[in-house]
Amino acid sequence: MKISTSILYTTVVGLKLSLIALLLSSSSDTRSVKPSPSNNSIEQKVDSVLALMRLNEKIGQLVQYSGGWDATGPTSSQGDQHKLEKLKRGEVGSMLNVTTVASIRETQKIIMDNSRLKIPLIFAYDVIHGYKTIFPIPLGESASWDLELMQKSAQISARESAASGLHWTFAPMIDVSRDARWGRVMEGAGEDPFLNSKIGVARIKGFQGDDLSSEFTIAACAKHFAGYGFGEAGRDYNTVNIGVHELHNTILPPFKAAAEAGVATFMNAFNDIDGIPATGHKELQRDLLKGEWQWNGLMVSDWGSIGEMIAHGYATDKKHAAEIALNAGSDMDMESYAYEAHLGTLLKENKISVDHLDDAVRRVLRLKFELGLFDDPYKYCDEEREKKEVYTPENLAFAREVAKKSIVLLKNDNKILPLSKDIKSIAVIGPLANDKDSPLGNWRGKGDYNSAVSLLEGVKGMVGKNTKIYYEKGIDLTIPTVEPGSNQFLHPLKFNTTDASGISAAVAAAKKADVVLLAIGENAYQTGEGRSQVNIGFAGLQNELLEAVYKANKNVVIVLMNGRPMDLSRASEIVPSILECWHLGSESGNAIADVLFGDYNPSGKLPVSFPYHVGQEPLYYNQKNTGRPYSPNHVTFSGYRDAPKGALYPFGFGLSYTTFEYSDIRLDQTEMAVNGDLKVSVDVKNTGDVEGEEVVQLYIRDMVGSLVRPIKELKGFEKINLKAGASQTVIFTINAELLQFYTANNTWEVEPGAFTVWIGGDSNTKLKTGFSVVE
């Protein structure tokens, strides 16, 4: 159907584009994925809009700019003026970092008032663990092992974001990460592919719900595709050297689960994999994700990653980088300015194809239709809903619930915890004890500086008037390099290594108290993007403070605040109790007090292994055995002469104020067909004095394979609640899906043979049985 410019203009102005799309004829479908019948209506609309588009408008849909400027006022730079002119011409597909209903409405209005086709923008923001109400960092929240809890926290984050006008978050990060030196470990779910897959899907469901067009949901983004968590030496953005089987068996499973769960978008990774930057990796993006997996969502680059292929030495210039990226399957260019400058020329030179260009544009348009933006570009822009939905008492109450379930009790000798609310005196000591900012963690959305409940505030709110509280900071962890409350994201930290003048006051407080709560660890800017460290112990003068306080009072509880696994070897050796509290978000202090004083019995389990020493990193439980397995009695074994081989605190570990006993592991059959299933059961008893929750964990080993298999792999878990003295039988079903792996045949299959099964409370459990898979 041929339409004149004047008729097109009149039609677009007079009617919604969604209606136009139903009336106009469709162009041929060149997508790599055919739409399902239920999506035919959207596909017809997408093709109809595509048929109206000029080349510059198509390319514009693949451009994403960062905002953070006053779109309606005078532009502050030449770059801002460039963005404004591109918006007016409809040559921008998405904006990130434009927040609040007012700003989003005004920016959308530029497109709707000035552009020819008036294709609405998608507005995106890094809503990583909360928008305004801040939940625990993802690594901390993962320690809850509570999928329903994590789905609901993502749902609340989505509601707050959508109420503020946003449509899209760059979460969840589902990179398997096994190196505590990597600062971005705080943003994921830890070291295990199975746990990452389950948590990733839960969070995707929370963000997206059942209907992306709902004004309460936002599009999720599975990132970073792929291998980002495997950077050499734990350095951010670093090269990744892995084999194809490690890629498929360890790194890709969470992404496959996300694709099958219907995640709306993927983000590619900064790193290269065996010499090919992920942004330009055709085999991963176009062949596997869009081809074999038949995923029809939108692939966005990470910030500037298209242009960064030049620094990699993989592209000669931005034109070459744009060619590589589009051909590889990267749909949207985030802040590289490569697509807008060069795709038109590349098309004329036949270095990219119309099919690939149209495929990318379709994916952008499809998401906009799914979000309902063509029906109403301003549907998320409701100032009254923004006031009602964001940072509500109900949201904060749930943040406290999530936070307390994310806490892991690592050590509790002499049952020093829980504390009595009638205790006579408590010393609350440490650089993080009254810190109201660090608990918000890195990537804290729109969380206000100093808005978290501190440990000191939480303790004061829990005890009675007769309890004496002595507070001393002891030391400053860092020396300020920027003004308090300013954006510290891009500023390096400078640790205090000289001023120990406050330690004497801390020692005096410790001597007067019945118990010491020592708040040490990391502040919010020691972990996160670009925050890799070779030292994963206590920075600055924290070790000196710890030793001095412990010498004054042996009843020390370390309240650990951190975003990565830390070297706790010395602390674990001397102090009786350690409570892993991560960066718990807005309600941090209240949640910690709930656990300290027994209002909540801790149930968290570690999603990462804690080492004895940084030299063990990368450290993870599901290693391979090697030809010379560990032996403490012989020199020539695969271990260390100066430290244990395994973890100080292993994956899946976490104590409770009660105890649990596992017994009578049993199978309903000892042989299983390749495509069959069997059931394995275990009895769990609460052998303590109080009610408690336990995460029952299932591990499996394929004893002999066409490839060397891990010594143990998590394949199931269930969180149960037992009253004191009560028992429960927990049953797991083992099927082909749990046993298959990417074999030497370069395919996913179950290999017949012997398997061992363990069930227990952490990855070091000894209770086991076995079965065989037969043809």
Strand, coil or helix: 35: coil
DSSP letters, 529-553, are TT---S--S--TTHHHHHHHHHHH-
**Pair type for strands 753-760 and 660-667:** unpaired
Dist. CA 198–CA 204, nearest whole Å: 10
State the pairing for strand pair 748-749/741-742. antiparallel
Q: 491 and 482 in contact (C-beta within 8 Å)?
A: yes
- Helix 354-370 vs helix 318-328: crossing angle, to nearest 10: 70
Biggest CA-to-CA distance, the chain: 87
CA distance 156 to 151: 9
> Residue 389 contacts by C-beta under 8 Å, 6 or more apart in sequence?
159, 160, 162, 163
Q: Specify whether 302 is catalytic.
A: yes
Beta strand 748-749 with 753-760 is unpaired
- Compute CA distances 564 → 154, 171, 711, whole Å: 21, 19, 24
Judge residue 582's burial from the number of C-beta atoms within 10 Å of its C-beta, 0-12 exposed, 13-18 middle, 19 or more buried: buried
Tell me the C-alpha distance between 214 and 578, whole Å.
Answer: 43
- Alpha-carbon torsion 613, 619, 620, 625, what sign? negative
Label each residue of 151-203 as H, E or C: HHHHHHHHHHHHHCCCCEECCCECCCCCCCCCHHHHHCCCCCHHHHHHHHHHH
Strand pairing class (660-667; 425-429): unpaired
Catalytic residue among 302, 331, 702, 762: 302
Q: Tell me the β-bridge partners of 267.
A: 300
Cis peptide before 602 (omega within 30 of 0): no
Give the distance from CA 60 to its chain's centroid.
30
Q: In degrees to the nearest 10, what's the CA dihedral of 68, 73, 77, 79?
A: 60
* Torsion sign over Cα 157, 158, 159, 162: positive
Count Cα atoms within 13 angstroms, Cβ side, for 448.
7
The H or E element spanning position 645 is none
Using an 8 Å Cβ cutoff, are 364 and 332 in contact?
yes
Q: How far is CA 20 from CA 23, 91, 505, in A?
A: 5, 20, 73
**Cβ(541)–Cβ(496) under 8 Å?**
yes
Q: Is 384 helix (H, G, I), strand (E, B) or coil?
A: helix
Asked if residues 684 and 722 have their Cβ atoms less than 8 Å apart, the reply is yes
Q: CA torsion, points 496, 500, 501, 503, in degrees to nearest 10?
A: 120
Q: What residue type is assigned to position 226 of the chain?
A: A
The position carrying tokens 């400027």 is 69
Burial of 744 (0-12, 13-18, 19+ CB in 10 A): exposed
Q: Is 630 exposed, middle or buried (0-12, 13-18, 19+ CB in 10 A)?
A: middle
Tokens of 712: 């143990």
- Is residue 580 within 8 A of residue 560, CB to CB? The reply is yes
Tell me how long the chain is.
775
CA 535 to chain centre: 23
Catalytic residues: 302
